[in-house]
Structure formats: structure tokens, C-alpha cells
Structure 1
């Protein structure tokens, strides 16, 4: 998912993975293999992982990607991120001022989602 840091000429990508349908991971960086490998190092052992269709994710074992007409867990994650954080909405004027501010906003959302009970 693409966003901007500082201004609209400085685009960054949010890389996301949903492991075993419940634990979400992210990395922020350029759309390169180096950023993917940083994200891959964060992943624990998992049975199944959901990603979007970007070709670099093909190296992950037990990968499930979006199929025509179906939405996988990763696409649902992107929908929630766009809903909760203005800097990721499509066609928005909002953007993060720094990489750290983007990481902090995402970390709070992911902590809430990964560790707090869903009935709150």
C-alpha cells in the first residue's frame, strides 16, 4: 500500500503480512526486495500467511494470495488501515511527516489488533 512521507514526491510502501489469520506484521520502505527481506526476518514460524499479489511475496512458504472475487485477510487489513489512518487513504492530502511518525501510528494500530481482546 503506497503512502507519502514529508510530501507527495517522497512515496513509501507499507508492506503487510497476516500470519495464521490473526497476527499482523508490517514494514515501511521502498518497493524493493531489501524491504521485503526486512519484513521476512520479523515473521515467526507460521502455518499460513496471507499477502497481496505482489510478485516478491512468492518466496514465502504456505502463502495465500488474493484470488479473483475473494478478499483475503491481508486485503481486509489494508481496508482497516485506510479506514483508521488518514495517511493511507486513497486520494488524500494527509501524509506522515516522518517515517517514525508513520511507524508509531501503525504500531499502535497493530498492537491493538494483535494483543487486545476483540470485544473491547
Structure 2
């Protein structure tokens, strides 16, 4: 019984990371291109990113620790990683991270949120 708990947890977290909501579809397909508020950006990060990267980008979620994710809040990571690099990973994915179909305002808002972890 216990041997199924960990795989089930990973599957649940993976599905949560790749969930494609109706709002995401409408904005990524040329819908609303209004700038995203800070609150909306924080919610988007919570839904799309925090399950792996942690609430403050430290990679300290259970799944983040398992995957040995970088701490996005360190000075070193923030200085060596450009906004363009962050957006590219959001759009294309990398390693275990899936690609996300987000509008440009959503991508820019996520970059701004990640930059706020400094």
C-alpha cells in the first residue's frame, strides 16, 4: 500500500503543474491582452509554479526538493538568469518542467513575480 503513495503524490503534483484552465486558453489564444495585476500574477505563480518551486521560489516544496530545483531567490541565480531566459523556460519547459501556454502579459507577470523573490 505505501509503495503507491509516493507515485500517486508525484502524479497528482504533475497534473497540477500541467493543468490547462479555460482562462489560460482564452488568453494564450489571443484573448485578453491586458496587463496582469500583482495579485493575479501571484495567483498564477501559486497555481502554475509553487507546487514545484515553492511559495517563494526556493525550490523547497516536497517535489522541488526531490527534483533538486534551483533556488530562484538567490542573488547568483537572479543575476545570471535574464528575463528572456525565464520566459523561454516558461514557454518551452526544461527537464521535468512542462511548457506553459500563457499570454505575453501572463509570462511577463510571472517573470516580475520571480524577480520579486530577490
Q: TM-score range by the shorter chain?
A: under 0.3
TM-score, length-scaled by structure 1? 0.27
Higher relative contact order (CA 8 A, sep 6+): 2
Higher helix fraction (1 or 2): 2
TM-score where L is the length of structure 2:
0.28
